[in-house]
Chain A
């Protein structure tokens, strides 16, 4: 499907423009270089002293280098978008795109780091080896269940924040959407019957986040392609060995009161919420199933490019609120609402990690932002061009890190809000100046606006 939207061939346009610009990001100096003599400050001999100090006290590397604001966007290319295992070179354009968004929305310098370490322990070793270069790590597009192990271990071994956006990013924004959706239908998220359809990175992370948010595990039915995760499922022991994350969910939720072997049709009967992060639709979730859900049903169909069920179909079947992963439909569950602000916040307080509580703080801030603007069924999540959101997410996360004793620097909400705003504003100003000066050429081929 040529870029899929119909009117514009995004694939063709994207290839031409990627080639024309030769990628999307570059490094630009941020210090004054007035004359050659200045290099004696930035390079030899002067640089020897910052080097000596950082060598003696590694923490000072955050003072003298860009490390404080630089993260790596790391992928082995084993599960890129919906394209599957296309390798590190295949992952590169996506990682560079992520880096672009980090910079533009969060003022965070992000470096693509694609590599050949497919073995999870080798992957972890690589992260440990390059840790001194970065203030944080964004993991991306790694196959499941390997990604769970890598994230868990990396969080333990590294002293800088590690984030896997396909898990935590999607889960955080979904939680934000759910917080507002239940408000609109007058329900309590902690009492709702929730079905997570699909047991990949996003929904397994969402399960953990919901639990941390206070939803009792027995209220959550998690389904994979074989049905509900249940302690009496035939392959339960196999899961214990091969997929301990699914196993743990089966044990904790006890299958949410369903019988072992129950499928989506049974699970959705009477459910208040379904979050699908599974196979592209349409028809992955059937209208008849949604029709059996409780009154005021909430349907999140997050598969791309085609949601598990089209919003109008879900609505016809009685759903009160529908969200998808698409930017051309209302209520887009978009990771970009969370990750730039989250890293802005943790970098600014030099947090040691990103906890579930910090992810929840981000989700609550995103939800609050939309609520302040006025919730309605087609607006439960902010849109990407609501620029005031990102510094607010940064502030909420930074304050939570300080509260939890995980920040090396202290701050207040107001202080971080101002700092994040000024860093992000400066990025925009610099960029717009370069662009307006014509130093970034206008695109030779383009789409029509609107």
Chain B
């Protein structure tokens, strides 16, 4: 289902202020699944990251805009994996849609358009990062044809 009036486009400098809030929310949301995802919770820091990505040819930031408001965000990096045949891989680092705009296919559109944008920049595959226990994300990506690709285990350093 396509929500009329929702525009997906590349982020620009004036979007940074609103989009940064969504970036922070992505992390506070995922903190729910594993404390290792807890973020610095600094909107300023998020703004810095976004600005850096806007000027970085190996990064893509997409926003979903509805009635002049940023309601969704996706940020991906083009990662070189010299020894993998699929290199470079587009890695979706963050994906977030505000609660009241969910269940309208906006996240799906963000992922699909991100896939397109990454492909045109040479990506051979698209990967997405999210907490291991986030079942909502798991079933979302599986529906879009993704499969488990690699596991990252973590522990806090000792002493």
Contacts and interface: CB of A to CB of B under 8 A. Distances in A.
Interface of A: 231-232, 234, 236-238, 240-242, 247, 250-251, 254
Contacts of A242: 32
21 contacts: A231-B98, A231-B99, A231-B100, A232-B98, A232-B99, A234-B28, A236-B99, A237-B25, A237-B28, A237-B29, A237-B99, A238-B28, A238-B29, A240-B99, A240-B136, A241-B136, A242-B32, A247-B99, A251-B99, A251-B100, A254-B100
Provide the main secondary structure of the chain B interface. helix
A250 B98 CA distance: 12
Nearest to A241: B32
B96 to A, nearest CB: 9
B24 to A, nearest CB: 10
B71 to A, nearest CB: 11
Interface residues of B, number: 10
> Which of A234, A240, A242 has the largest count of B CB atoms less than 10 A from its CB?
A240
Report the 5 A-B pairs with minimum CB-CB distance, sorted nearest first. Answer: A237-B29, A231-B100, A231-B99, A236-B99, A241-B32
Interface in B86-103: 98-100, 102
Contacts of A241: 32-33, 136
Interface in B22-46: 25, 28-29, 32-33
Nearest to A254: B100
A238 B32 contact: yes
B100 A237 contact: no
Nearest to A240: B99
B6 to A, nearest CB: 16
> Which of A238, A240, A241, A251 has the largest count of B CB atoms less than 10 A from its CB?
A241
Contacts of B136: 240-241
A327 B28 CA distance: 46
A254 B98 CA distance: 12
A232 B21 CA distance: 11
A250 B29 contact: no
